Amino acid sequence: MKLKVYNVRDEEVELINHWSSQNNIDVIMTPEALTLDTLSDLADCDGIVNSQVGPLDKAVYAELENLGIKQIAQRSAGVDMYDLEEASKHHIVISNVPSYSPESIAEFTVTIALNLIRKVREIQEQIEKHNFSWTLPIRGRVLGDMTVGIIGTGRIGQATAKIFKGFGCRVIGFDLYPSSLMDGVLEYQDSVEDILKQSDVISLHMPPSADNYHLLNEKTFSLLKKDAILLNMARGALIDTEALLSALDKDQLAGAGIDTYEFEGPYIPKNLSDQKLNDPVFKALLDHPKVIYTNHIAYYTDEAVKNLIESALNASVDVINTGTTDTRVN
């Protein structure tokens, strides 16, 4: 059996080699993305492991079928970059890694919340000017006194809720499928609007869908408390970024922690330090004084990277051997 892994970063090579040795399976690695131009050496491969960022060209599915490839194992939870109907049409199983380290994302979410609430960036900017005075712009608030709204209570939302609860927060939540595991941790509310109206901190933890596209928009931003903060460590399409920037400028909320941007595909994860950004909305998001932006990195811990690689490789083997896997999404 032979697998090909696309979009390999330097730090992943040792982990992939270790798995290959342990499982006695040949693995070809490439830093290149999966495109029509990078399929040339797949003729003697049995499966693909990928880390797709932007939408995959539809023509790739047909060509993979022609090459006898029957699966793509995505090294992430999100699979919105794939056309699942097109994949199924060409008899290609798409799998994901639904749970690789919920705690990593949850801890990062709370870290960003604390940075916003305690005005860490403002403090640093003041200190850089050798201004060591105590002034109102750097006075923080107590997290434990706040109501935190969790929208989406899957594994990551649950882990996040537990940490906020540990600070003494009142935690409320909304999910189409409430979990009994949250009994004693959060109080479920009847609607997203109920969460937005009550919360001092709003944290998004859900996959994108047609129903929640731009869940946070001009209308829903008007429901927020003026001192609320918004956290998005999920998917960029949940937020209308232009509406967010406008709401921040109008003081409809106090700040935002954004780890995912709707149109991040051309930028993440690349080193573009010597290039200009062509997206004015993205640039405005990066430059906004009330925004802490991070580069889709909430998951990024040693544990998460290891679990993503091993789970995706194992799923690829499952499909090749049995025709399916527990983590298939189509």
CATH code of residue 27 = 3.40.50.720
Residue 295 confidence (pLDDT):
97
Residue 31 confidence (pLDDT):
95
d(CA 208, CA 326): 21
Same domain flag for 114 and 255: yes
Number of domains in the chain: 2
Whether 330 is covered by a domain: the verdict is no
Q: What is the pLDDT of residues 167-195, one digit of tens each?
A: 999 999 999 999 999 999 999 999 999 99
Same domain flag for 90 and 219: no
- Average pLDDT rounded to a whole number, residues 234-258: 98
Whether 303 has a pLDDT exceeding 90, the answer reads yes
Whether 166 has a pLDDT exceeding 90, the answer reads yes
Residue 214 confidence (pLDDT):
98
Residue 99 confidence (pLDDT):
86
Whether 226 is covered by a domain: the verdict is yes
Domain of 18, in residue numbers? 2-100+302-322
Same domain flag for 269 and 310: no
Residue 40 confidence (pLDDT):
82
Q: Over the chain, what is the mean pLDDT?
A: 97
Same domain flag for 93 and 112: no
- Average pLDDT rounded to a whole number, residues 3-17: 96
Same domain flag for 81 and 152: no
Same domain flag for 27 and 66: yes
Q: What is the pLDDT of residues 83-116, one digit of tens each?
A: 999 999 999 999 999 989 999 999 999 999 999 9
Same domain flag for 145 and 79: no
Residue 233 confidence (pLDDT):
97
d(CA 253, CA 242): 14
Same domain flag for 76 and 214: no
Whether 54 has a pLDDT exceeding 90, the answer reads no
Same domain flag for 110 and 94: no
Same domain flag for 96 and 106: no
Same domain flag for 283 and 210: yes
Paired with 73 in beta bridges are: 49, 95
- What percentage of the chain carries pLDDT values higher than 90? 95
Cis, bond preceding 98 (omega within 30 deg of 0): no
Helix (H) or strand (E) holding 227: none
Catalytic residue IDs: 235, 264, 296
Whether 261 is covered by a domain: the verdict is yes
Whether 41 has a pLDDT exceeding 90, the answer reads no
Whether 35 is covered by a domain: the verdict is yes
Residue 53 confidence (pLDDT):
85
- For 122-155, give one letter per residue: b (16+ CB within 10 A) or e: bbeebeeeeeeeeeeebeeeebeebbbbbbbbbb
Residue 39 confidence (pLDDT):
94
